[in-house]
Amino acid sequence: MSTTDLSPGRPASAFTLPRDGGGTVSLSDHAGRNVVLYFYPKDDTSGCTKQAIAFTEQADAFTQADAVVLGVSKDTVAKHDRFRDKHDLGVVLLSDADGTICEDYGVWVEKQMYGRTYMGIERTTFLIGPDGMIRQVWRKVKVPGHVEEVLEAVRA
């Protein structure tokens, strides 16, 4: 299903994933609200930590804009719990341990570092409107200024 067209104006791919702290979260749980769905490579790495902290710092602003922020990586719920507690994070962290949702959203890609090729999550953010349609997509995200840009798009 990774051939799903997830460009703006298309329906977002449905999902249900386990979350930090227990339980599950489905995209349908947030019907009628904006959903900021951000995919990140790994808990407790520098860029991912900065990004999660930046979303946490703006959590109230996203709530006021009637948006929920959901972070997704392939880390386990237990790792998410440690990451959340260590950095006092205020965003929901979802575990896509088998990578199905990463595949559905086209963020499981071939990457290169130090001449080595490997598969990993491309840092990507999707803004899904209250109608379940994708409003905006940011690929190959650079962390500085990104959260503010997403917040601006939610408010627009």
- Please, are residues 39 and 47 in contact by the beta-carbon 8 Å criterion? no
What lies within 8 Å, CB to CB, of 116 at 6+ separation is: none
- Catalytic residue status for 48: yes
Task: Report residue 144 as tokens.
Answer: 């500085």
Degrees to nearest 5, angle at CA 132 with 130 and 31:
55
What lies within 8 Å, CB to CB, of 91 at 6+ separation is: 52, 55, 56, 59, 69, 70, 71
Catalytic residue among 6, 48, 68, 150: 48
Q: Catalytic positions, please?
A: 48
